[in-house]
Amino acid sequence: MTTENLGFETINLGHGSGGELTRNLLDKIIFKTFSNPFLDKKDDGAIVEFSNKIAISTDSFVITPIFFRGGNIGSLAVHGTVNDVAMCGAMPKYLSLAFIIEEGLKVVDFIEVVNSIKTAADESGVLIVTGDTKVVERGKGDQIFINTTGFGEVHPKAAISVLNIIAGDKIIVNANIAQHGMAIMSDREGLEFESNIESDSTNLNFIVRDLLEAFGNKIKMLRDPTRGGLGTVLHEIANDINKGVDIKESAIPLEKQVAAACEMLGLDPMYVANEGVFIAVVDKSIEADVLAMMQQHPKGKNAKCIGEFTDEHPNKVVMESVIGGKRIVSPLVGEQLPRIC
């Protein structure tokens, strides 16, 4: 698709008016890209069928810059919501998609975002079934904001709840932490490191499905540590169930270049956002089997058990450092890196 076939090169307020320009934008870009039996009806909503319990999650994406190493706001909008549904123990099936576009956005950039959404949706096995498009005045929207809502059937073997966690349950992380936040930071600030740090943004629904198929309700809890990072999420869970968390710094998967970049910028990787990482809290009896399965999956090859829950020091996350000392991992206060998702 090229802008020559469209007859316009930038988005203007008329594209949000609901008139002919809006229809032109929808027909030539959105409906054409995401064509499927639900969306092709062009109704105000979509009627879909489920035979099981469903999980629903919605999220809005305001990231800057909108293009970054490893993805863009479009792929991120799909991955973020797909993963939130997956963390409920469900397989995402349908997405709604809403754009708030700033007047003056180049159509070529919009098309790139839309194509990335299509690719990410196809890779995740989801359909875009309904949505909305609005255009705001120049200077009011920072190029483009996206909202997605995901719907999926809960896996019949899933029993995901923070209330299932008991002392001794193991905490497993599937991949290297802090990739996404540092990729955004390096692009935003024009920083160059010895190796290109790319966002880890990806869909996690299939690896979660495989875990649930194999281990069922022995997978106690799933959570993706996006904003606030790994440290904040662990602290939230500990508070929710009035238990303590013991983790080992040496076990936390962290790429050397990311660690070096965090150190250079004075950031703690425990609080840096992720978009392709999830925490699985599992029964201690299946720790080795879960790790073996995850490490065979391309999105779990760096999986590590980083610690466990304990009845000691309730509501506190205690990290054993690489040199043997211990420190409290507090929740993130404020915002380390704004506008990272």
| Full set of structural domains in the chain with CATH | 3-154 (3.30.1330.10), 162-328 (3.90.650.10)
Distances in Å between the Cα of 69 and the Cα atoms of 66, 180, 240 are 10, 9, 35
Task: Return the bridge partners of 304, or none.
Answer: 173
pLDDT digits (tens, 9 = 90+) for 170-224: 999 999 999 999 999 888 877 666 668 999 999 999 999 999 999 999 999 999 9
Angle at 14 between CA 81 and CA 130, to 5 degrees: 30
State mean pLDDT over 232-249. 97
pLDDT digits (tens, 9 = 90+) for 21-77: 999 999 999 999 999 999 999 999 999 988 889 999 999 999 999 999 999 999 999
Band (pLDDT 50/70/90 cuts) for residue 4 is low
| DSSP, residue by residue, 69-131 | TTEEHHHHHHHHHHHHHHTTTEEEEEEEEEEEEETT-BHHHHHHHHHHHHHHHHHHT-EEEEE
Band (pLDDT 50/70/90 cuts) for residue 86 is very high
More confident residue, 5 or 257: 257
Helices (H) and strands (E) in the chain, counts: 9, 13
Dist. CA 142–CA 147, nearest whole Å: 15
Tell whether the model's pLDDT for residue 341 goes beyond 70: yes
pLDDT digits (tens, 9 = 90+) for 87-139: 999 999 999 999 999 999 999 999 999 999 999 999 999 999 999 999 999 99
What is the structure's pLDDT at 193?
A: 64
pLDDT digits (tens, 9 = 90+) for 267-316: 999 999 999 999 999 999 999 999 999 999 999 999 999 999 999 999 99
Tell whether the model's pLDDT for residue 232 goes beyond 70: yes
Q: From the CB of residue 327, how many other CB atoms can be counted at a distance below 10 Å?
A: 11
